[in-house]
């Protein structure tokens, strides 16, 4: 018998032990029969991004998972720990673009297909590194079941989920303000925006009254957006409101005549107040619906025009809805938002309309990826109707009644499947869950990227739609919607399900499979939406998509996993 070494040398042990595990197929999970009494235990690894190698945080997290997995395996549970990786749309596209730029290659010059091919190579490179790191750590994963968020199985689940939501009216196309990253050129979700404290200024700008009787002073941290102002708002409780009712101001530089409106969102000026906003307020608010979410809401309440004065790179532009450019305004076209801010302030000072400048620290949303300030930007995007009762309401009704508070009766658990079954530990997180859903907004799911799940919708713009057009596509198993974008134009949208969903559909026309349906659409002038889905749309399905949902029989290697 060999003596126990005085010192543990990992290199002397790990390779041989890993080989023994692999030879014994020790970590491969095999689902039991339908009535197998053996308890089951499964973990789907939170998929690391293929942007880079694993770091120390991954090592800690995976060690904790491995402890739980090995513990249950030794207790006799039929145990599975499924590994995999996440395509991480915007993050991976960004690092690949940087590598290409270092080689003198620009993404737009190489085209979409070539760029995706390069990104796929990056994915394969770093996925191999990640899996080798997991094995080197001794992670007892079932590596035969390794999944990727964009592999065929997961992509099928993503398209099925999108199709069902689209068909049920829970995915829609809309024009509204989004969190726009002007560097990566894509919309971001609220969770992808990081708030940072910024030392800046508050500028006090005078807007002359149209009748020549004086002016009002607005306070703003963003003078460069004033080109899109469509009103000045005052609180109806402000003593000055009555005298100004029905009056207009002339927007400096632009020359646009805009109304003074009353809205109780406006903070009234009070230098002695304990409220910081009241201390620095003038009581008058410049309303720019296309470039501020609160102004957008005011604009909706008062039916104000929405004038987008910025391009996708956040430069001042007259190509997105701003017309009738005055001679004074024309020199600002093409300036970056930073340069425009400085030039606007210079203009107001020269015109004698800059009343005051104060130092001001405030919180500004930044892109989690490019780290530049995001731009509230008016854009056409795809949304999940998260505020619909079928989604938000169902999520709230899933909570245990003893863990919720102050919910109306229609949001309390009922008799539907899943109602009242969700319990949080510690209990305080139930309140966080409830508040999050009470304040949720519809989820912007489209991203202006190339790497990711391309949205499975084909569109065309027409002047009118024959009554039978939609019926043709729905009879073939697709989902159809139509929306008017101008007085003269209508957009038709057709969502094509994956083949597995299509062949199971109850449809009048069974002559076309998925490929034939797409060919027919494109022959009629439809083109596929170029955007991709937010990474979280696919990541959210990870616990199910990795196990063959919705039709595991189409992927024999997954049969029994969902049941187990």
Whether the predicted pLDDT of 447 surpasses 80? yes
Identify which of 87-91, 173-177, 349-353 has the greatest average pLDDT. 349-353
CB atoms within 10 A of CB 362: 15
| Band (4; pLDDT cuts 50, 70, 90) | confident
Position with higher pLDDT, 5 vs 103: 103
Q: What is the largest CA-CA distance in the chain?
A: 104
pLDDT single digits (tens) 522-550? 999 999 999 999 999 999 999 999 999 99
What distances in angstroms separate CA 154 from CA 18, 161, 501, 531, 543, one per listed residue? 29, 11, 14, 18, 10
Residue 478's closest CA among 455, 503, 502, 459? 502
At residue 274, the 3 state secondary structure works out as: coil
Q: What's the mean pLDDT when you consider all of the chain?
A: 94
Q: 10 Å Cβ neighbour count for 224?
A: 24
Q: Where are the domains of the chain?
A: 26-163+539-558, 192-378, 390-440, 456-528
Q: What is the C-alpha separation between 486 and 362, in angstroms, rounded? A: 38
Can you give the pLDDT at residue 34?
A: 75
Q: Among 323, 296, 492, which Cα is nearest to 377's?
A: 296
Q: Do the Cβ atoms of 387 and 441 come closer than 8 Å?
A: yes
Assess whether pLDDT exceeds 90 at residue 289.
Answer: yes
pLDDT tens, position by position, 183-194: 989 998 888 899
Whose CA is closest to 149, among 47, 42, 52?
A: 47
Model confidence pTM above 0.85: yes
> What's the topology of domain 26-163+539-558?
Rossmann fold (3.40.50)
pLDDT at 329 over 90: yes
Q: Name the pairing type of β-strands 443-444 and 375-384.
A: antiparallel
Please give the CATH topology (third level) of the domain spanning 192-378. Isoleucyl-tRNA Synthetase; domain 2 (3.90.740)
Q: How much is the average pLDDT of 46-58? A: 96
In whole angstroms, give the CA distance from residue 561 to residue 447.
Answer: 32
Sorted by sequence, the CB contacts under 8 Å of residue 254 that are 6+ apart come out as: 226, 227, 229, 326, 328, 329
DSSP reduced 3-state for 142: coil
């Amino acid at each position: 018998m060999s003596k126990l070494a005085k010192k543990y040398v990992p290199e002397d042990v790990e390779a041989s032990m890993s080989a023994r595990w692999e030879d014994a197929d020790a970590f491969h999970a095999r689902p039991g029969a339908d009535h197998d009494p053996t308890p089951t235990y499964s973990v789907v690894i939170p998929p690391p991004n293929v942007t880079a190698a694993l770091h120390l945080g991954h090592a800690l997290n995976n060690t904790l998972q491995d402890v739980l997995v090995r513990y249950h395996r030794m207790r006799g549970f039929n145990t599975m720990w499924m590994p995999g990786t996440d395509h991480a749309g915007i993050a991976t596209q960004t690092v690949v673009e940087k590598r290409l730029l270092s080689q003198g290659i620009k993404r737009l010059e190489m085209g979409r297909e070539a760029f995706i091919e390069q990104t796929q190579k990056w994915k394969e490179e770093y996925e191999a590194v990640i899996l080798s790191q997991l094995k080197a750590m001794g992670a007892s994963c079932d590596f035969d079941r390794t999944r990727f968020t964009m592999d065929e199985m997961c992509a099928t689940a993503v398209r099925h989920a999108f199709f069902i939501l689209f068909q049920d009216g829970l995915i829609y196309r809309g024009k509204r303000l989004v969190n726009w990253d002007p560097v990566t050129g894509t919309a971001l979700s609220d969770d992808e925006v990081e708030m940072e404290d910024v030392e800046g200024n508050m500028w006090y700008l005078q807007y002359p009254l149209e009748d020549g009787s004086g002016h009002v002073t607005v306070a703003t941290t963003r003078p460069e957006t004033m080109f899109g102002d469509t009103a000045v708002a005052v609180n109806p409780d402000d003593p000055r409101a009555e005298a100004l009712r029905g009056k207009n101001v002339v927007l400096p530089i632009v020359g646009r005549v805009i109304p003074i409106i009353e809205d109780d969102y406006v903070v009234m000026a009070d230098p002695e107040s304990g409220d910081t906003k009241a201390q620095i307020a003038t009581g008058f608010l410049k309303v720019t619906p296309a470039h501020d979410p609160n102004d957008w809401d005011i604009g909706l309440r008062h039916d104000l025009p929405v004038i987008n004065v910025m391009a996708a790179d956040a430069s001042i532009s007259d190509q997105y809805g701003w017309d009738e450019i005055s001679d004074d305004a024309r020199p600002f076209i093409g300036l970056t938002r930073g340069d425009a801010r400085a030039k606007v302030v210079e203009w107001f000072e020269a015109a004698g309309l800059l009343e005051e400048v104060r130092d001001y620290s405030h919180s500004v949303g930044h892109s989690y990826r490019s780290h530049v300030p995001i731009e509230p930007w008016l854009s056409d995007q795809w949304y999940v109707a998260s505020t619909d009762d079928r989604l938000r309401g169902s999520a709230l009704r899933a909570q245990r009644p003893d863990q919720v508070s102050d919910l109306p009766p229609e949001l309390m658990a009922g008799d539907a499947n899943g109602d009242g079954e969700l319990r949080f530990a510690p209990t305080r997180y139930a309140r966080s869950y409830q508040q999050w859903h009470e304040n949720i907004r519809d989820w912007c799911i489209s991203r202006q990227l190339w790497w990711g799940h391309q949205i499975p919708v084909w569109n065309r713009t027409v002047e009118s739609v024959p009554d039978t057009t939609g019926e043709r596509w729905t009879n073939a198993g697709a989902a159809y919607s139509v929306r008017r974008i101008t007085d003269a134009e209508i957009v038709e949208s057709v969502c094509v399900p994956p083949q597995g969903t299509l062949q199971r559909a109850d449809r009048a026309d069974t002559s076309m499979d998925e490929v034939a349906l797409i060919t027919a659409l494109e022959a009629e002038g439809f083109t596929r939406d170029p955007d991709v889905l937010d990474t979280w749309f696919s990541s959210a399905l990870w616990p199910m998509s990795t196990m063959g949902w919705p039709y595991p029989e189409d992927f024999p290697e997954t049969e029994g996993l969902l049941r187990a």
